Amino acid sequence: MMDAERSAGRAPLLEVQNLVVEYSVGGRTIHAVSGVSLEVERGETLGLVGESGCGKSTLGRAVLQLRRPQSGRVLFDGQDLTAMQGEALRKMRRRVQLIFQDPIASLNPRRRIGDIIAEPLVIAGVKDQKRREQLVHEVLSAVGLDPQLVAGRLPHEFSGGQCQRICIARALVLNPEFIVCDEPVSALDVSIRAQILNLLEDMKARFGLTLLFIAHDLAVVKAVSDRVAVMYLGRLCEVGPSEQLFAHPAHPYTALLIEAIPVPDPDVRPAESVAVGEPPSPMAPPSGCRFRTRCPRADQRCSEEMPELREVGPQQFAACHHPLIGAG
């Protein structure tokens, strides 16, 4: 996949190469991310989806080096973030930012909104207070909040949707190029989600952003993503253009997730799941294909040989020995 993009003359803004992230808990190892490789093009929104606990958020944090990986590389604009330390990494982080999953918990309850948003500027060395105030007012206005009414107040005085707008403003204040959106609407009411998604789309166009959009809600991902990467138990199952992947899923797990999307029609019966059993523990993932213990298409080969991502359709890749489309 990387070679094909390079031959076409398109250098991705972000490249993740064979990333491995593990945790030690009680003397046992949790295999959170196991050899994941992906790319994000400039100006693109890549949706990253999967069940809770599959490693999505860990991958997003490892990309930003908030969690150091055990092995692998993260190349941002050609520079290896995993090899950076100290001041070099701090300077690079001005170009890459994170929107946290819980907007209220991610804001310091004792600090005023203006100070919270200005803090990245202070860390980045912007010493002119008037300049900091100007930038804070600009980003608050950009996300639809009145700086005069908001900057002097505390986080508990705002709703969840307003707090998420504040978090987006904080991520934008350094004028980054790349933002990891870690389930930015999962903690919000349904009526507020559309507003935040529209805001992210507007900010992407206005500031020329590239987004890694992490979510477990496929309907949300379909609405905002140019391409989608599906993750299961620490590994990628499928990567492809959004419309194509939703219309013709190649991996049985992707098909399962799409079937689970609720249809707002009382006359439509939910599809019966083709998967069996419960997800395995990340402390003891199955041999071969990690989805094989729940997959109706699994055979002996699936238990013995780990499938690698391969092209099964135009720009569509699946890690499956028996894909639903293309050659099996």
pLDDT tens-digit series, residues 81-114: 999 988 899 889 899 999 998 889 999 999 999 9
Q: Coil, helix or strand for 310?
A: strand
- For 287-314, what is each residue's pLDDT tens digit? 999 999 999 889 999 999 999 999 999 9
- The pairing of strands 96-99 and 14-25 is unpaired
Which residues are CB-contacts of 31 (< 8 A; sequence separation ≥ 6)?
22, 233, 234, 282, 283, 285
C-beta separation of 211 from 229 below 8 A: no
Confidence of residue 59 (pLDDT cuts 50, 70, 90): very high
At residue 296, the pLDDT reads 87
Across 9-29, average pLDDT: 89
CA distance 291 to 271: 20
The pLDDT value given to residue 10: 62
What mean pLDDT, rounded, does the chain reach? 90
Asked if 246 and 316 count as a contact pair (C-beta separation under 8 A), the reply is: no
Over residues 32-36, the mean pLDDT reads: 95
Confidence (pTM): 0.90
pLDDT score recorded for residue 5: 41
Residues 6+ apart with CB under 8 A from 33: 19, 20, 21, 22, 55, 58, 59, 62, 69, 234
Helix axes 113-123, 129-142, angle to 10 degrees: 120
Q: What is the pLDDT of residue 8?
A: 45
Q: Residue 322: pLDDT band by 50, 70, 90 thresholds? A: very high
Give dist(CA 214, CA 225) in Å, integer: 10
Q: What is the per-residue pLDDT across 256-275, written as a single tens digit (0 to 9) for each? A: 888 887 777 677 666 665 56
Looking at the DSSP bridge assignments, the partners of residue 45 are 211
If you classify domain 2-95+178-187+209-318 with CATH, what class do you get?
alpha beta
Higher pLDDT, 243 or 217: 243
- How far apart, in Å, do the first and last CA atoms of the chain sit? 19
Is pLDDT above 90 for 219?
A: no
Q: What is the pLDDT of residue 270?
A: 62
pLDDT, residue 81, reads 95
Distances 234 to 60, 274, 287, 292 between C-alpha atoms, Å: 12, 21, 13, 14
Phi and psi based region of residue 125 (left: phi greater than 0; alpha: psi -120 to 50; beta: remaining)? left
